[in-house]
Structure 1
Amino acid sequence: MTLILSISTPHASVHASDRRVTLAGSGVSPVVHSPLENKTIIFLAADAVGTIGFTGIAFIGKQPTDQWIANTLAPQPADAPPLGTFAFGGRGLGRVKLRTIIWRLRNALAGLPRNLGKYGLTLQVAGYRIRRRRSIPFCIDIDWKGGAPTINGWMRPPRTRQQGTLFAQVGDGWPVARTARAVADHAEATGRRDIEALRLAAMDTIRQRAAETATVGRDLMTVMVPNPLISREILWRFEPADPHEAAIVGPNVSEKVQAIYSPWIITPASVNCPTVGTSGLTVGFGEFEIKCGNDTANPDSPIRFAASHQQRSRPPG
């Protein structure tokens, strides 16, 4: 299980997700399989920019589910190494549009073995659709429980002011109205009136829920996607509950750093797989920049950026 929150406003979209993977144990409490699995994909399509998160089955075959989603969106040539086995590179989306992304995900879900349906899988796709010089917030849930996937959400221009702000959650959360109220209360407590207040509020709400259930973790990934008509700088942040250390060791260097885990970043031109490294990762395409918002660099260090592909956990059994 997990907990993912998506909040899309006329100014920016916020995605927040925990990173814990749990397995059903023999007792009442679930068993933590991995505390640091990625559940976030940032994508840039021909007519949209946004995020994808998921809750449900953690592995499809031998692949982590996020890797399966990435391969569904950006299938690689038969003679190329599979996504997830390297850090940078890979063939991107090309000129794929948002509707094609939704269609690919729905069809891939429909093709899964029906016996996996008892665990279920829900994908949440949120961000902005760029259409006729307008930027339209959207939030779509694709839910699969072994039969035909169902699609719910909003992709149309808002007709009222209330429709301009979209709030959604998937995973082991409270009832939606209670979660939305908790986010609003946390945002007000920050004393801010900007999108950063919503990001901090989403983090606080997930961690509040994590204190109540073992299926939700406290290490988080957040993504802020601004309305593309306002800004084209997308910021993602790894937000651990406690610092994570990593070591960079080489012939002329040996240094401990604060580890930063990255999400999938898929553009029309390339795919960047989840990595662990230092802050500083930036991926550009056209006028868009997808940047790490963590600032943990040591000004006295000669290392400006270092990363390697994240070794993923294996399915149980």
Structure 2
Amino acid sequence: MTLIVAAVTQQYAFHASDRYTSLPTRKACPDWDLHANKTVIAVGHDCWVVLGYTGLAYLDGKPTDQLIAEAISGYGDLSGDAAMIPWSPTRYPHYREIRDRVEHKLADAYSRLRRRTAEKYSTSVLASGVQRKNNLISGVMFQITALGRETTAVELVPRVLSQRNLLSEAVGMVDNPTIDRMRNRLEGATSPEQVRDRMMDAVVETSLVKEYVGDDVMGVILDKRNNTISTHFRPADEERQHNLWQEVDFLKDQPRLKAMTTVSTPYVLTPGMIWAPSVGNPGGWSMGSGISLNYSGFGESNPKSGTGFFASQPRRPDPGGTAPKKPSGMAAPFGLSGFVGGDQKDFDMDRFNE
């Protein structure tokens, strides 16, 4: 289980989630993965969306976040050790198509579960984003829930948001008093970073009262005004994060890199490139599509120039017995204006910004 919190305004979308999974047993549920990614960011033809899930951590033998990324991207299988994967479809999906693809993927996966498992455990996806529609850019939000043999999708923003509106929702292990306090705090927020941080605070506070909510938190800001995707990772235990970095094979002959402070990152599907869940140092850069990407954490709020070292995140296997993927590393210069990963001809940022 987990907690997903989402919020939208006219120009921004926000997300916060923990990264904990447990192994269901007849008695207490022991820890399974303390570093499980729950977050998928996608840039579509007419939208930017960030999705989080709560429920079953593995579907069709894969991490559920991977299943969501496959649904959106059209890839049949994103397993493997690549930190970056080319993504150049003939056409990038529209907002409604993203929702429909994820809904159908969950329904298909649940149809293959044992009936008892499917009826006992639900999986919900909560997505927030910004969409260009009818010459307007506005916040959008949807929730998809799979349980038994039924999967439902619901739009949560009833109308176009005004400039001052902020809508928030939460799914999973929700503690209502904590979410109520968060909403009161959001009313006084004066920056996108404050909105994100107060949502992340709510996840941490919930972890103190709900056993199956973790205390490592991922926060996301989709900043349409400045064409920036920002992720912020707040680990509860820096040593635990450091130990995850040590699992990367290519570090064994790199003592300087082994001592580096790192953050975890989610799936990010951008024009030309899919960035898989990774571990690396904070930083950011601009891509050829005109989008700036910023990974931050440990108090690092601004992108740094220099060299970034990323490795695909070591992940726990499906308890059913599939092998974990072997992490690999790559190095890329931050601040590399015009970084291109594949064909971007179908994505017209100027048209989206009109």
* Distance verdict in 2 for CA 1:59–1:251, change over 3 Å: closer
Q: Determine the structure 2 residue equivalent to 1:139.
A: 141
Residue of 210, 218, 233 corresponding to 1:213: 210
Amino acid corresponding to residue 223 of structure 1 in structure 2:
V
Distance 2:269 2:44 in 1: 8
* Distance verdict in 2 for CA 1:160–1:291, change over 3 Å: closer
CA contact 2:10–2:130 (8 Å) conserved in 1: no
Secondary structure of the structure 1 residue equivalent to 2:69: helix
Q: Determine the structure 2 residue equivalent to 1:123.
A: 125
Secondary structure of the structure 1 residue equivalent to 2:194: helix
Distance 1:187 1:160 in 2: 16
List aligned pairs for 1:27-106, cutoff 5 A: 27=27, 29-76=28-75, 82-92=78-88, 94-106=91-103
* TM-score when normalising by structure 2: 0.77
Distance 1:47 1:11 in 2: 14
Which blocks of at least 5 consecutive residues in structure 1 are unaligned?
none
Distance 1:192 1:136 in 2: 19
Q: Determine the structure 1 residue equivalent to 2:314.
A: 311
Secondary structure of the structure 1 residue equivalent to 2:297: coil
Q: Determine the structure 2 residue equivalent to 1:237.
A: 232
Percent same amino acid among aligned pairs? 23
Q: Determine the structure 1 residue equivalent to 2:18.
A: 18
* Distance verdict in 2 for CA 1:285–1:42, change over 3 Å: farther
Distance 2:153 2:98 in 1: 13
CA contact 2:230–2:294 (8 Å) conserved in 1: yes
Distance 2:253 2:134 in 1: 51
CA contact 1:261–1:274 (8 Å) conserved in 2: yes
Amino acid corresponding to residue 21 of structure 2 in structure 1:
V
Per-residue deviation at 1:157?
A: 3.9
Per-residue deviation at 1:165?
A: 2.2
Residue of 263, 268, 288 corresponding to 1:265: 268
Aligned residues: 302
Per-residue deviation at 1:182?
A: 1.4
Per-residue deviation at 1:158?
A: 2.4
Per-residue deviation at 1:149?
A: 1.2
* Distance verdict in 2 for CA 1:254–1:148, change over 3 Å: closer
Distance 2:161 2:73 in 1: 34
* Distance verdict in 2 for CA 1:151–1:252, change over 3 Å: closer
CA contact 1:2–1:18 (8 Å) conserved in 2: yes
Q: Determine the structure 2 residue equivalent to 1:170.
A: 171
Per-residue deviation at 1:253?
A: 4.5
* Distance verdict in 2 for CA 1:159–1:269, change over 3 Å: closer
Q: Which stretch of structure 1 is more off in the superposition, 97-106 or 239-248?
A: 239-248
* TM-score when normalising by structure 1: 0.86
Q: Determine the structure 2 residue equivalent to 1:4.
A: 4
Which blocks of at least 5 consecutive residues in structure 2 are unaligned?
321-354
Per-residue deviation at 1:196?
A: 1.9
Distance 1:168 1:192 in 2: 17
* Distance verdict in 2 for CA 1:32–1:11, change over 3 Å: same
Distance 1:3 1:252 in 2: 36
Distance 1:110 1:103 in 2: 10
Question: Are 2:195 and 1:198 aligned?
Answer: yes
Amino acid corresponding to residue 95 of structure 1 in structure 2:
Y
Secondary structure of the structure 2 residue equivalent to 1:305: strand
Kindly report the root-mean-square deviation, in angstroms, between the aligned alpha carbons of the 2 structures. Answer: 2.6
